[in-house]
Structure 1
Amino acid sequence: MSSPAAQSDWRRLDSRMVLIHPVREVIRFLPALVGLLFAGGQVGQHWYGALGAVVPIALGVARWFTTRYRFTAQQVQLRRGLVNKTELSAPLDRVRSVDVTATLLHRALGLAVVKIGTGAANSNDGSVILDGLSAKQAAALRRDLLHRVDAERVAAQGDSPTTDVNGQAREAAKAARPAYVEAPDEVLYTMRPAWFALAPLAPAGFITALALLGVGAQVISQAGIDLTENGAVRDGVDLARGFGVMVVVAVAVVAGLAFIVIVALIGSVLTWFGFRLSRDPGGRTFHVSRGLLTTRNTSMEARRLRGVELHEPIPMRWARAASLSAITTGVAGKKSQDSSSLTPPSPRVVVARTADAILGARGVLDIPIAGHGPVAARRRYTRALLGWIALTALASVPLVALDLLPYAGVAAVGLLVLALLLGRSRAAALGHALTDRFLIGRSGAVDRETFVVERTAAVAVTYRQTFFQRRAGVATVLLATAAGDQEYAVLDVPAEAGAVLFTELLDTVRTH
């Protein structure tokens, strides 16, 4: 059993979180509360909604009472839960990234959320989240964790959460780096207002619009509202029938696009407002700050950076725009794309210049990419045509059932054109390059991605051929690394060229 002294080291988060947790829980239960409110109104019991709100409010208060944290000489530990208790820990010497965020409620109360990432391979990605430190504590904690200030400075930091009565933080900092010296950061990228216009060209706007429609549909369903009984809706349906199918479809497409554009612009301003990428004077840490209502400050150690990834969805390519993300240990996979963002959608020339500054090399994203030949191109077209057959069959069934056979033919021709364009785009994008320092690979059509990974980051290399690849004379070379997506593939490279690439990368693994 733990000693009383050890138990006293555990402390609660800021008491002002008692005002935030209940609000969050009420929002979480909002669809159910709306349903209760409508149900109570129908039977004349309007207090149903108020009574239902007591449960999420109580859960929010209980969340604060049952959450504690502490810093030891080696770890940061977090306990939470009343019935199902959970304890998380992160070794201080394995901290890879520190995110400081503050929602509108947090900012109003002078609070912040600190996410300490270690990049461990578990369901929580090795992260410990301290939701409810004062803004001053959060800033001090981020600085201390990333720059390893000396023991005397940590001991003097009375408002730093890493300084406790037992002096454990002093012990943890003894072997750390010299004290961090305040100096202006080197600014590598700053968001310009004109670049918000690129937001509708990114997939995020479309995804957000669909999410909003889904939430709206759920609220309507939970509230028990029947749109078919609404007079305005019935009048609108009758009016649409009078204009014909094509006119209705055209109006729906235009309205949908307008909705996506508006949502994308609002979302872009909220997310990317004030985006700034900088590097500390010693070149040890990259800092990203952004956000309008919810501010976010992300820091990652430069020595953990293993490369970058360029994202060019189709609409953004038309505007010669792109976005950039980091390939770094401790920020792994698609789950942590927000933490790995290095630039929002911006002109490609600006993104390329930023990548050069980050990697310390010139023209990396402009290095000529070697294509993979006609066999790889043919495989791209084949897959696109197989997709066309499947989509045409799916689209034809409802059209034929509705006695709209001519439209089925139009849909088939339109989908065929799209399939051929898709195959052509994928074939043109596919390729790779190998330099003394980097492996560069590119693939994709709808969302074209170019990765630049340091060869020294490789921990393993795989030469793989499926049955169909062997028959076609192509192969896939996989570079395994501890950073980013963990695995980066050079697809459908000619077998002989793939063997050469595999050998060169394997030599790098053996010598490092």
Structure 2
Amino acid sequence: MLAVHPVQETIRFLPVLIGVLFIGSNGQGHIWSLVGLGIAVAGGLLRWFTTTYQITPSHIRVRRGLLRRRELSVPRDRVRSVDLTAHPLQRILGLSRVVVGTGRSDRHDEGVTLDALATPAAAQLREELLHRSVSVEQKEPEGRVVAQLSPRWVRYGPFTLSGIATIGVVVGSLANLFNETRLDPDNFGLLRSVIGQLTSVPVAVAVVEITVFAAVLVAVLSALAYVLAFWNFRLTRTEGTLHVTRGLLTSRSTTIEVRRLRGAEISEPLLLRAAGGARCMAITTGLRVGRGSEHGGSVLLPPAPLAEARRVAGEVVGDAEPAVHDLIRHGPRAHRRRYTRAFLFAAIVTGVLLLLWWLARWPAWPWQAALALFPLGALLAEDRYRNLGHALLGRRLVFRHGSLLRRRYMLSSEGVIGWVVHRSFFQRRAGLVSLTATTAAGRQHYTCTDMPAAEAVALAHDAVPGLLDPFLVRRE
């Protein structure tokens, strides 16, 4: 920790230190920059002096802080998962970061974190917290390999568009640096040449050049992010656990208890689906979901061929049928509702632009271009309906919905702890409902939209017999 945390704090404050160095126009910028560096290093050292932890047979206790003392105590029976990570500096020093999942999936909750432990001790602690014994020399649990990264899967990286976030961060940081240091972009020859070239060509050509460059840059950065995040990926299954390891520079190791697992999710973003790819996620307690799911460790398979995602999901849930079985369609009323919503949106946008052309002297091309929303809306509505479906296969609930992001949930009915039946005004007129299964795992609620009311009640009753009985009126 004495080596790791000062470096981490210095990297965190690096933009501020650079800004102070450039802002100091009177020749004292380097002095204030060194002062800031000393403060960052001191803050990193304080973390070692003020952090202690204790593992007892019943609790995990972590105490940290100097001015604001904080002590976290968690019962060991609340441990749901243990995540081991190590960035490059930690790997060089033989250290790991242990994150203990306690059943909360809120991305603002950091959980129980023990930073910079010796890697053998971290591996032993993981096994101890998950109620198993292992020797100190054993680093990774042995088991059957369920999935392993193939270099050919890197071709799916550009279709994840993860590079857009990187570009946004870089552009924002550069803009903030230029603003804080009052640097003139014209002083940089390369940037001045690019701006000059773009201003010397017609607008349409400049737009095409920027679009092509941005597309290539996003594809390259997305592929690079894929390699950094998922290189050396391996999913293994041991007795009672699923174990995921991945990462090129920063290694990540996640162990999930099978008894905490409630199902799996197959996610297919539009571009990834067009390339024939998908990713598989775990529906379990204690792991982050949503936008932070990859960081939180619920990924069971990175973007890969759809057939591979279905195979992995089937092996994880113990039944291959839910991942490939045809689902029950929701009927003509749900079909009509998809088209009505798509055409209503197109009509409102076109009508507003038409009024602006008529009353405010706007050009005519905006409302004429908006007419394309009608055929595009029809294609989207048809795709959304075709992707909508449900099924009950034994003790496994299967929901599917979405178009721009198609998701297929395979949820164990044993994990369902409640039902929510929602009906909007227009759904009531169409005789449709949205049925939500609530659970303690994953997103904590999984919704099947626009189901016929009778089918929704029958599905909920068959999936968890007796749960709806107090609310049902049986007809004689």
Shared fold by TM > 0.5? yes
Mapping of 1:460-499 within 5 angstroms? Answer: 460-499=418-457
CA 1:33–1:384 in structure 2 vs 1: closer, same or farther (change >3 Å)?
A: farther
**Residue 401 of structure 2 is aligned to residue 443 of structure 1:** yes
> How much does 1:333 deviate?
3.4
Match of 1:119 among 92, 95, 103: 103
Mapping of 1:288-327 within 5 angstroms? Answer: 288-327=244-283
Mapping of 1:16-165 within 5 angstroms? Answer: 17-41=1-25, 43=27, 45-120=29-104, 125=109, 127-149=111-133
| Residues 105 and 286 in structure 2, CA contact (< 8 A), matched pair in contact too | no
| Partner-residue secondary structure (3-state), 1:270 | helix
Match of 1:501 among 459, 465, 468: 459
Distance 1:113 1:69 in 2: 13
Letter in 2 for 1:321: G
Match of 2:332 among 374, 377, 383: 374
> How much does 1:71 deviate?
1.2
| Partner-residue secondary structure (3-state), 2:130 | helix
TM-score, normalised relative to structure 2: 0.89
| Residues 439 and 445 in structure 2, CA contact (< 8 A), matched pair in contact too | yes
| Residues 326 and 484 in structure 1, CA contact (< 8 A), matched pair in contact too | yes
Alpha-carbon displacement from aligned partner over 1:455-502 (angstroms, at most 9, x marks no partner):
111111122212221012210111111111111111011222222223
> How much does 1:399 deviate?
12
| Partner-residue secondary structure (3-state), 1:365 | helix
Distance 2:338 2:173 in 1: 37
Mapping of 1:330-479 within 5 angstroms? Answer: 330-334=286-290, 335-338=292-295, 339-388=297-346, 405=363, 408-409=366-367, 411-479=369-437
Letter in 2 for 1:358: V
CA 1:496–1:504 in structure 2 vs 1: closer, same or farther (change >3 Å)?
A: same
Distance 1:273 1:477 in 2: 39
Match of 2:227 among 269, 274, 279: 269
CA 1:418–1:466 in structure 2 vs 1: closer, same or farther (change >3 Å)?
A: same
> How much does 1:43 deviate?
4.3
Counterpart position of 2:472: none
**Residue 284 of structure 2 is aligned to residue 328 of structure 1:** yes
| Residues 440 and 453 in structure 1, CA contact (< 8 A), matched pair in contact too | yes
- Report the more deviating stretch, 107-116 or 465-474: 465-474
| Partner-residue secondary structure (3-state), 2:255 | strand
Distance 2:110 2:94 in 1: 27
> How much does 1:18 deviate?
1.4
| Residues 23 and 180 in structure 2, CA contact (< 8 A), matched pair in contact too | no
CA 1:124–1:244 in structure 2 vs 1: closer, same or farther (change >3 Å)?
A: closer
Distance 1:399 1:38 in 2: 50
Distance 1:367 1:216 in 2: 50
Letter in 1 for 2:387: A
| Residues 199 and 205 in structure 1, CA contact (< 8 A), matched pair in contact too | no
Distance 1:210 1:390 in 2: 32
Counterpart position of 1:170: none
RMSD of the TM alignment (CA)?
A: 3.0
Match of 2:165 among 168, 192, 207: 207
CA 1:304–1:73 in structure 2 vs 1: closer, same or farther (change >3 Å)?
A: same
| Residues 375 and 472 in structure 1, CA contact (< 8 A), matched pair in contact too | yes
| Residues 106 and 288 in structure 2, CA contact (< 8 A), matched pair in contact too | no
| Partner-residue secondary structure (3-state), 2:436 | strand
| Residues 461 and 477 in structure 1, CA contact (< 8 A), matched pair in contact too | yes
- Report the more deviating stretch, 302-311 or 61-70: 61-70
CA 1:386–1:57 in structure 2 vs 1: closer, same or farther (change >3 Å)?
A: farther
Distance 2:273 2:315 in 1: 22
Counterpart position of 1:239: 197
Unaligned runs of 5+ in 2: 470-476
| Partner-residue secondary structure (3-state), 1:507 | coil
| Partner-residue secondary structure (3-state), 2:162 | helix
Alpha-carbon displacement from aligned partner over 1:67-124 (angstroms, at most 9, x marks no partner):
1111122111111111122111221122110111100010011110011111147786
Distance 1:221 1:394 in 2: 38
| Partner-residue secondary structure (3-state), 2:319 | coil
Counterpart position of 2:151: 193
| Residues 105 and 442 in structure 2, CA contact (< 8 A), matched pair in contact too | no
CA 1:240–1:123 in structure 2 vs 1: closer, same or farther (change >3 Å)?
A: closer
Total equivalences in the alignment: 464
Unaligned runs of 5+ in 1: 1-16, 161-179
| Partner-residue secondary structure (3-state), 2:117 | strand
Letter in 1 for 2:132: R
> How much does 1:308 deviate?
0.3
Distance 2:321 2:232 in 1: 27
| Residues 339 and 378 in structure 2, CA contact (< 8 A), matched pair in contact too | yes
- Report the more deviating stretch, 99-108 or 64-73: 64-73
CA 1:25–1:200 in structure 2 vs 1: closer, same or farther (change >3 Å)?
A: same
Alpha-carbon displacement from aligned partner over 1:228-284 (angstroms, at most 9, x marks no partner):
67676555445323322221111111111111111111101000001000111x2x0
| Partner-residue secondary structure (3-state), 1:107 | helix
Distance 1:49 1:326 in 2: 46
Alpha-carbon displacement from aligned partner over 1:279-338 (angstroms, at most 9, x marks no partner):
11x2x0000000000001100101111100000011111121100000012225324444
CA 1:438–1:79 in structure 2 vs 1: closer, same or farther (change >3 Å)?
A: same
> How much does 1:410 deviate?
6.4
| Residues 309 and 325 in structure 1, CA contact (< 8 A), matched pair in contact too | yes
| Residues 25 and 59 in structure 1, CA contact (< 8 A), matched pair in contact too | yes
| Partner-residue secondary structure (3-state), 1:371 | coil
> How much does 1:364 deviate?
1.9
Alpha-carbon displacement from aligned partner over 1:151-181 (angstroms, at most 9, x marks no partner):
xx8xxx7x79xxxxxxxxxxxxxxxxxxx9x
TM-score, normalised relative to structure 1: 0.83
| Residues 461 and 505 in structure 1, CA contact (< 8 A), matched pair in contact too | no
Distance 2:371 2:26 in 1: 52
